[in-house]
A and B are shown apart, each in its own frame.
Chain A
Amino acid sequence: MPCVSSDGKPTTSGMAVLKSLKNGTLSPEEIAHKTGQPLFRVRSGLRELKNAGFVEETEDKYGLSKTGETAIQ
């Protein structure tokens, strides 16, 4: 991490988080399990990805936004 680089694009770690959401919404714990990244870094990364518009949060679960979907294509 960070998950978003200074030019506003997802970093390698950020992209791993985004790809983990390809099949639907996940909790930070589930993302950490799926990506192998430490939970504290996933939480921090999700904050960045959300602020940059790549993910959306609903009831403690995270999913891809339209921008996020485009980024992983």
Chain B
Amino acid sequence: MTEVQKEEIGFPILGQKAPDFEAVTTQGTLRLSDYKGMWLVLFSHPADFTPVCTTEFMAFSEIYDELKKRNVELLGLSVDSVSSHIAWIRNCEEKMGVKIPFPIIADLNKEVAKKYGMIHPEQSKTETVRCVFIIDPESKIRAMLYYPLTTGRNMNEILRLIDALQTTDKYKVATPANWKPGEPVVVPAPATIEQAEERLKEGYECKDWYLCKKKLPES
């Protein structure tokens, strides 16, 4: 990789503040700070009027109401122009019968894409790969997904991930593999021998001192 390419690619870090931006979108000029106090799913797609992206946009639109229930907004991005985005949105509505309710960044100069490490030269030197950044109400990066150009994303996993993060925040717990809302959660690992012994008396469902699960009150 050349020095120029190295300079162009930045990667956000989990737990750090999401890179700030001001960008032209299909719903006006938006800043990251406009989303303060709510969760944001910032996602990129390679290009308008392409088949996999179109299926993804329809799928993102289908989960939009579910996201709203969770205080989550959607914000798309590609390196296409606003005019292209508008034409594509209209096409999705006219030909596919799907209304795209969320804004899409027109990142023609790749300013946002570079800040978020959305360009992966081995995939494409010009297009953004299929990224998903889950940003919390304090504007911190909480989760990231990077998919190649060939592979459409799984909306159920995005919803599950948001549910897991919000459950972790609310109850200070972790979630096991394949966890879904309503299922037992993992009690954080004990930090001392005393805690390890005490937790065996807490009534948790324990396989051993380090792997204990519990039901949440509302499940």
Question: Does any Cβ of A come within 8 Å of B37's Cβ?
Answer: yes
Question: Does any Cβ of B come within 8 Å of A67's Cβ?
Answer: no
Q: How far is the CB of B70 from chain A (nearest CB, A)?
A: 14
Q: How far is the CA of A39 from the CA of B35 in the complex (A)?
A: 8
Q: Contact between A2 and B34 (Cβ–Cβ < 8 Å)?
A: no
Closest Cβ neighbor of A40 among chain B residues: B34
Q: Contact between A40 and B29 (Cβ–Cβ < 8 Å)?
A: no
Contacts of A1 in B (CB 8 A): 27-28
Q: How far is the CA of A47 from the CA of B30 in the complex (A)?
A: 10
Interface of B is mostly: mixed
Bitwise, A25-63 to B at CB < 8 A (1) or not (0) is 000000000000011110111011000000000000000
Contacts of B35 in A (CB 8 A): 40
Q: B28, B29, B30: which has the most chain A beta carbons within 10 Å?
A: B28
Contacts of B28 in A (CB 8 A): 1-3, 41, 44-45, 48
Q: How far is the CB of B14 from chain A (nearest CB, A)?
A: 23
Q: How far is the CA of A43 from the CA of B28 in the complex (A)?
A: 11
> How many residues from A make CB contacts under 8 Å with B?
12
User: Which of the four size classes fits the interface of chain B?
Assistant: 10 to 19
- The interface of chain B, by Cβ under 8 A from chain A, is 27-31, 33-35, 37-38, 73
Which of A3, A40, A44 has a CB less than 8 Å from the CB of B73? A40
Closest Cβ neighbor of B38 among chain A residues: A39
Q: Contact between B29 and A43 (Cβ–Cβ < 8 Å)?
A: no
Report the 8 A-B pairs with minimum CB-CB distance, sorted nearest first: A2-B28, A1-B28, A40-B34, A43-B34, A44-B28, A40-B35, A1-B27, A44-B34
Q: Contact between A44 and B31 (Cβ–Cβ < 8 Å)?
A: yes
Contacts of A3 in B (CB 8 A): 28
Closest Cβ neighbor of A46 among chain B residues: B34
Contacts of B73 in A (CB 8 A): 38, 40
Contacts of A40 in B (CB 8 A): 30, 34-35, 38, 73
Contacts of A45 in B (CB 8 A): 28
Given contacts A41-B27, A44-B30, 9 further A-B contacts (CB under 8 A): A1-B28, A2-B29, A38-B73, A39-B34, A39-B38, A43-B34, A44-B29, A44-B31, A47-B29
Task: Jot down 22 A-B pairs with beta carbons below 8 A, ordered by A.
Answer: A1-B27, A1-B28, A2-B28, A2-B29, A38-B73, A39-B37, A39-B38, A40-B30, A40-B34, A40-B35, A41-B27, A41-B28, A41-B34, A43-B33, A43-B34, A44-B27, A44-B28, A44-B30, A44-B31, A45-B28, A47-B29, A48-B28
